[in-house]
Amino acid sequence: MEAAGEAEVRVLLQEARESIEAARSYRRELQQRLRGLHQAREQIKDSATLTRDVLEQHFSDLKGTLKKLLDERLTSLLQEVDVIEQESIKPLDECQKLIEHGVSTADDLLREGESAVDGDVGQQNEKLCNFTKKALHIQLDSLPEVPSLVDVPCLSAQLDDCLLTILKNQIFRHGTVASRPPVQLEEFVEKPGGILVRWCKVDDDFTAQDYRLQCRKSTAGHFEDVYVGSETEFIVLHIDPNVDYQFRVCARGDGRQEWSPWSVPQTGRTTLVPHEWTTGLEGYSLSSRRNIALRNDSQSCGVLYSKAPTYFCGQTLTFRIETVGQPDRRDSLGVCVEQRNGDDSLQRDKAVCISTNGAVFVNGKEMTNQLPAVTSGSTVTFDMEVVQLGPCSNEGGNFKLRVTISSNNREVVFDWVLDQCCGSLYFGCSFSYPGWKVLVF
C-alpha cells in the first residue's frame, strides 16, 4: 500500500510539473500576444499622428498656394483694367485739349468781334475787316468729333460663379484616409551582397499598375527609391552584410497618378558577403565594388575568377550582361572547383559554363542541349543542389551536383559529377574580345 501511495504521489507530481510548465508556456504566449497588442496600438497611434501631421501640412500648403494663385490672378486682372483705362482715356484727353484750345480761341474772337462792333466809327471799318478775315481763317464751322458713349469702353468684370462650385466639388473629393495600405511586404531572401524583396497585394479590390519600393539603412536617413515597375519582387544590391535595412512599398492604381499609402516598414538583412571579381588581371577593368567586370582593349587573355569561393550550393548565382562585344566560341560564364592560371576559358575539367553563343559545357565537353545566345541585358543564372553518391571525406569521394542553368526563359538541367566534396565554388568569365561587361550577384 505504501509503495502504491508513493507511485500515486509521483504521478501527481509529474502531472503537476507538466501543468506548471504548460502554465508557464501559456503565460509566455499571453505575454507575447500582449506585446503584439502593444505594438499594434503603437502603430495605430503613431500612424494616426503622422497622418494628422501630413493632412495639416498638406492643406496648409494648399491654402497658401491657392491664396498666392488668387493674388497673382487678381493682380493680373487689375493690371489689365489699368491698361484699358489708360489706353481709352488718352485719345479723350487729346480731344479735350483740342476742344479747350478751340474754346479759348472762340473767346478771343468774341472779344475781338464785340470790340470791333462797339468801337469808334473812325476805326470801325478797319477792325471789322480784320475781324472778318480772322473769323474766316479760324473756320468756325470746323468742330472736333466727340465719340458717343457706345463707342468708348465701359469696363466690367466677368466672374464665373461656377468656379466656386468646381472648387468645392474638387476640394470635397480631395484626399482620402486609408486604414491600411493595399500592398504589403511579404518576404526577404538573402543574396550575396543583396536582398531579394517580395511584396503582394492585400486589397483584392485594388488594381495595381506600378509598384514603388524604397529602402534605407537601419533607421537613419531618408528612404530612397530602389525600384519602380510592375514586378512584385526585386533584388536590392549594394547591401552591406550583417546590417539592418528598412524597406517599404506602395502602389499606383490603374489609371491613377497618385501613389497609395506606404506599407508597414519592415527590416531585412543579409549575412552573405557580396560576390567580387579578383583584381589584377590585365584584360579586365573592375567597378569600385568589384562586382562588375569590363573586358578592356588589352591583348592579354585569360579567365577572370572570383576573389574567393563565395558561391554555395542552394544559392542562385546571377550574371547580368550589361554590354556586349564580338562573340567568340571560347567565351565562357560559369563556376569551377578551383582557380587555374593559364587557361583562356572555363571550357575545361572541374568547371561548368555557358558560352556567349549559348553552348553549355560540363568538364570541357559540350552538351547537346543549348541555350539562347547571350545578348545585352541577358541574365544567366546558376542553381545547384548536392546529390551525394557515396562516402565523402576530406580525402575525396564520389560527389554529384544537380545543376540548373537558365538564360532568356530557357534552362538546362544536368548532373555534374566531381571526384571531391565542394563546400563552395569559384565563379569566372572569359571573353576574347573587348566590350563585354558583366555584373555578378
Q: Edge to edge, what strands does the sheet with 233-236 contain?
A: 183-191, 194-201, 233-236
* 227, three cell numbers: 525600384
Give the pLDDT confidence of 128-157 residue by residue, as tens digits. Answer: 777 777 767 776 667 778 888 888 888 898
Q: Are strands 351-354 and 359-362 parallel, antiparallel or unpaired?
A: antiparallel
Distance CA 389, CA 400 (A): 7
Residue 165 scores a pLDDT above 80: yes
Higher pLDDT, 127 or 424: 424
Give the pLDDT confidence of 72-131 residue by residue, as tens digits. Answer: 999 999 999 999 989 988 988 888 888 888 788 877 778 877 777 776 655 667 777 777
Distance CA 225, CA 300 (A): 40
Q: What is the 3-state secondary structure (H, E, C) of the chain?
A: CHHHHHHHHHHHHHHHHHHHHHHHHHHHHHHHHHHHHHHHHHHHHHHHHHHHHHHHHHHHHHHHHHHHHHHHHHHHHHHHHHHHHHHHHHHHHHHHHHHHHHHHHHHHHHHHHHHHHHCCHHHHHHHHHHHHHHHHHHCCCCCCCCCCHHHCCCCCCCCCCHHHHHHHHHHHHCCCCCCCCCEEEEEEEEECCEEEEEEEECCCCCCEEEEEEEEEECCCCCCEEEEEECCCEEEECCCCCCCCEEEEEEEEECCCCCECCCCCCEEECCCCCCCCECCCCCCEEECCCCCEEEECCCCCCCCEEECCCCECCCCEEEEEEEECCCCCCCCEEEEECCCCCCCCCCCCCCEEEECCCCEEEECCEEEEEECCCCCCCCEEEEEEEEEEEEEEECCEEEEEEEEEEEECCEEEEEEEEECCCCCCEEEEEECCCCCCEEEEC
Give the pLDDT confidence of 178-224 residue by residue, as tens digits. Answer: 778 999 999 999 988 899 999 999 988 889 999 999 999 986 789 99
244, amino acid identity = D
Beta-carbon count within 10 A of 417 CB: 13
Give the pLDDT confidence of 249-276 residue by residue, as tens digits. Answer: 999 988 888 899 899 999 999 998 899 9
* 441, three cell numbers: 550577384
- CA 255, chain centre distance (Å): 17
CB 164 within 8 A of CB 66: no
Higher pLDDT, 322 or 106: 322
Angle between helices 121-138 and 2-118 (to 10 degrees): 140
Q: What is the mean pLDDT of residues 58-74?
A: 93
Place of cell 495605430: 44
Residue 244 scores a pLDDT above 90: yes
pLDDT of residue 436: 95
Higher pLDDT, 221 or 371: 371
Place of cell 514603388: 212
Q: How far is CA 439 from CA 275, 308, 346, in A?
A: 10, 16, 17
pLDDT of residue 395: 47
Higher pLDDT, 390 or 338: 338
Q: Please give the mean pLDDT across all residues of the chain.
A: 88
pTM over 0.85: no
Beta-carbon count within 10 A of 49 CB: 10
Higher pLDDT, 406 or 143: 406
154, amino acid identity = C
Higher pLDDT, 231 or 4: 231
Residue 243 CB-half CA count within 13 A: 16
- CA 22, chain centre distance (Å): 51
Residue 345's closest CA among 326, 363, 325? 363
CB 89 within 8 A of CB 153: no
Q: Which residues of 385-414 are buried (b: 16+ CB within 10 A; e: fewer)?
A: eeeeeeebeeeeeebebebebbbeeeebee
294, amino acid identity = L
Angle formed at CA 266 by CA 260 and CA 272, multiple of 5 degrees: 130
Average the pLDDT over each of 25-29, 82-86, 394-398 and give the range with the smallest value. 394-398
* 249, three cell numbers: 512599398
* 255, three cell numbers: 489609371
